[in-house]
Amino acid sequence: MQLGQIGTKGLLCAALAAGAWLASSTAEAQITIGIGVAPNCPYGYYDAAPYGCSPAGYYGPEWFRGGLFIGAGPWFHGRNHFHGYVDNRFHPDHGYQGGFPNPGDRADESWRVSQGHFHGNESRDGRGHVSPGHHGR
């Protein structure tokens, strides 16, 4: 080999190594997933996309603290291992065709369902999963 060939190859290898080092040292992986803010619904919202407002009577009283909905799906902020009852007869996937409140509506306290009058038929965790072994009440 001639000296010029070694010098060119060496320079090329050094340049490639420097480029690889710069790329690896400056590249940072950052993943941000934004889900936005929770829907502002008077009686809660469904726990799956598109997160529409649910009517009074869908969620049982355990889903509320001080009259405020504790959230569901990606915005759930209740305790760990939470299981709460819903009445899925008020869900459109189960045939409900009644009225729905709009985001921003104020709750009518006379529409809230009390513990004694609520008839939940399905238990769910706060993330929207049916809770096995928890039957309706």
pLDDT at 125 over 60: yes
Selected residue with higher pLDDT from 107 and 6: 107
Selected residue with higher pLDDT from 31 and 108: 108
Lowest mean pLDDT among 18-22, 85-89, 120-124: 18-22
Beta partners for residue 69, in sequence order: 64
pLDDT at 13 over 50: no
pLDDT in tens, 32-82: 455 789 999 999 999 999 999 999 999 999 999 988 899 999 999 999 999
For the chain, the domains span 38-137
Per the rule left: phi > 0, alpha: psi between -120 and 50, beta: everything else, 6 is alpha
Cα distances (Å, whole numbers) of residue 19 to 4, 7, 9, 16, 24: 22, 18, 15, 5, 9
Residue 97 CB coordination number (10 Å):
6
Find the helix or strand (DSSP H, E) in which 18 lies.
helix 3-26
Q: How far apart are CA 3 and CA 28, in angstroms?
A: 39
Entry pTM = 0.70
What's the mean pLDDT when you consider all of the chain?
Answer: 80
Q: Which stretches does DSSP call E strand in 2-137? A: 64-65, 68-69, 84-86, 122-124
